[in-house]
């Protein structure tokens, strides 16, 4: 069975500082990895994905994530946080072979203070 772990319920960072939201995964074979963001009373918005190729993936709103196969991680990063980045972030994984549904982590609340 595939799974995603987001070890932090909440991450606090000051505006302008770099941020990292952690994600590790478990899947049979190679993964497809995704990050989504959920603003209050809104659906999930796609941020970025890793399919293959370069381990550093760039996405929307200045976010990026680094795929590390040996550590089975896909941490979300941003060099300089904005207050408007405050939201709930979900990491998700799907196996890249056969039929596989998307499995989500429990989410990490990011709070960026002014």
Structure tokens at 91: 């990491």
Contact between 104 and other proteins by CB under 8 A: the answer reads: yes
CB-based contact 4:104 (threshold 8 Å)? yes
Contact between 51 and other proteins by CB under 8 A: the answer reads: yes
Least Å distance between CB 45 and other proteins? 8
Contact between 86 and other proteins by CB under 8 A: the answer reads: no
- x/- contact string, 23-42, with other proteins (CB under 8 A)? ---------x-x-x----xx
Q: Can you tell me which of 2, 72, 86, 96 binds other proteins, judged by CB under 8 A?
A: 96
Contact between 44 and other proteins by CB under 8 A: the answer reads: yes
* 42 SS3 class: coil
The rounded distance, in Å, linking the Cα atoms of 69 and 83 is 31
CB-based contact 10:111 (threshold 8 Å)? yes
């Amino acid at each position: 069975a595939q799974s995603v772990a987001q070890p932090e319920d909440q991450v606090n960072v000051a505006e302008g500082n770099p941020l990292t939201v952690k994600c590790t995964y478990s899947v049979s074979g190679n993964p497809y990895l995704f990050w989504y963001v959920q603003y209050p009373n809104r659906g999930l918005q796609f941020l970025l994905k890793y399919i293959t190729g370069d381990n550093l993936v760039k996405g929307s709103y200045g976010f990026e994530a680094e795929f590390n196969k040996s550590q089975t991680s896909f941490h979300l990063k941003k060099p300089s946080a904005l207050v408007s980045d405050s939201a709930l972030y979900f990491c998700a994984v799907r196996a890249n072979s056969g039929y596989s549904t998307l499995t989500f982590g429990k989410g990490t609340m990011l709070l960026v203070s002014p």
